[in-house]
């Protein structure tokens, strides 16, 4: 196709609302056009790029045994009420009623639909394990859309669902996904790191998110160069250095007439009795291993 025949046009200057470089370039090159806050039309060049990314996703998921399916964007609210998440999720869920006054949901994820499919299709443990995935439009009423395609309300997401008979099978599927996602990012030329993250509304015991370090990000990661620990600040855990054991000392009275503050009292006490160190320092929390904070 000739550039002169391409639908859409390039822009000489970046739009005023585009404050991030990636957003500016996508707009100027004619990849995307805004329709509303956090809602974009993907023009031909953007659509071709997305199709190539989707091909990589399908290739890597198929290699670990995934089977692609397609599930509806519109879901009956009864499924969400059955799991309780209809009442737990707030305004970010798109809700409406059809012409028969039945509550409906704009899909923000598909666990409920998968669970409904499983109870209908899987009749025996002999039918497991299975791995299904789909690449689907999602909608979440993001309260603060920003940075072009980085935080939007309508987006395309690849989500997969493993069906296992025991925890060992689930762990195996998790490890396969863990490596498959690294393969996907590597093929896309993105050097990402995996950190522990909050399971969020999805629930579960363990979750990782893949982070691309960028100065415009809003997350903070806790990383350790010594032990390899990495986690989002929201779920990071720390260990205090245990206090050194010491023998209990006899109770004694110390005259401190000028010490009216804790800091002054500690200094005065140390000068009067320079014996073995007491546990005053253990009152102050500190980390066993230094951590590095990286703002994304």
The pLDDT, as a whole number, for residue 265 is 67
The pLDDT of residue 288 = 39
Q: Retrieve residue 11's tokens.
A: 């822009």
Q: Which residues in the chain come in under a pLDDT of 50?
A: 277-296
For residue 166, the SS3 value is coil
CB–CB of 152/39 below 8 Å?
yes
Structure confidence by residue, pLDDT tens digits, 57-75:
999 999 999 999 999 999 9
* DSSP string across 6-72: -SS---SS--TT--SHHHHHHHHTTSEEEEETTEEEE-HHHHHHHHHHHHHHHHHHHHTT-EE----
Q: What is the pLDDT of residue 212?
A: 85
Which pLDDT value is given to residue 286?
A: 35
Reported as a single tens digit per residue, the pLDDT across 129-157 is: 999 999 999 998 888 888 888 889 999 99
Amino acid 281: pLDDT: 38
Helix axes 167-187, 44-63, angle to 10 degrees: 140
Q: What is the spatial distance between Cα 282 and Cα 242, in angstroms, rounded to a whole number?
A: 8
- Residues 6+ away with beta carbon under 8 Å from 207: 196, 197, 198, 199, 200
Instruction: Determine if the pTM surpasses 0.85.
Output: no
- Cβ atoms 30, 94 nearer than 8 A: no
Q: Would you call the peptide bond into 129 cis, given omega within 30 degrees of 0 as the criterion?
A: yes
Query: Which pLDDT belongs to residue 10?
Result: 84
Beta bridge partners of 136: 157
pLDDT at 243: 78
Instruction: Give DSSP secondary structure letters for 85-111.
Output: HHHH--TTSEEEE-TT--EEEE-S--H
């Amino acid at each position: 196709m000739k550039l002169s025949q391409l639908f859409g046009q390039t822009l000489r200057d970046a739009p005023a609302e585009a404050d991030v470089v990636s957003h500016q370039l996508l707009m100027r090159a004619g990849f995307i056009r805004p329709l509303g806050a956090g809602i974009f039309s993907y023009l031909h060049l953007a659509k071709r790029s997305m199709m190539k990314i989707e091909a990589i996703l399908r290739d890597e998921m198929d290699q670990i045994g995934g089977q692609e399916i397609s599930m509806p964007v519109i879901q009956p609210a009864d499924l969400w009420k059955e799991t309780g998440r209809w009442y737990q999720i707030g305004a970010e869920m798109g809700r409406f009623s059809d012409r028969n006054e039945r509550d409906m949901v704009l899909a923000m994820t598909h666990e409920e639909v998968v669970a409904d499919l499983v109870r209908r299709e899987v009749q025996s443990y002999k039918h497991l394990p299975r791995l299904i995935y789909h690449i689907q439009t999602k909608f979440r009423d993001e309260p603060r859309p920003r940075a072009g395609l980085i935080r939007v309300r309508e987006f395309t997401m690849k989500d997969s669902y493993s069906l296992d008979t025991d925890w060992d099978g689930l762990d195996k599927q998790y490890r396969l996904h863990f490596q498959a996602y690294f393969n996907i990012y590597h093929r896309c030329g993105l050097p990402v790191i995996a950190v522990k993250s909050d399971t969020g509304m999805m629930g579960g015991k363990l979750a990782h998110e893949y982070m691309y370090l960028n100065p415009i990000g809003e997350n903070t990661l806790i990383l350790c160069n010594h032990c390899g620990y990495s986690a989002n600040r929201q779920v990071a855990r720390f260990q205090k250095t245990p206090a050194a054991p010491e023998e209990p000392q006899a109770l004694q009275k110390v005259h401190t007439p000028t010490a009216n503050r804790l800091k002054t009292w500690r200094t005065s006490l140390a000068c009067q009795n320079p014996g073995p160190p007491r546990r005053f320092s253990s009152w102050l929390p500190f980390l066993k291993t230094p951590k590095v904070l990286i703002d994304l």
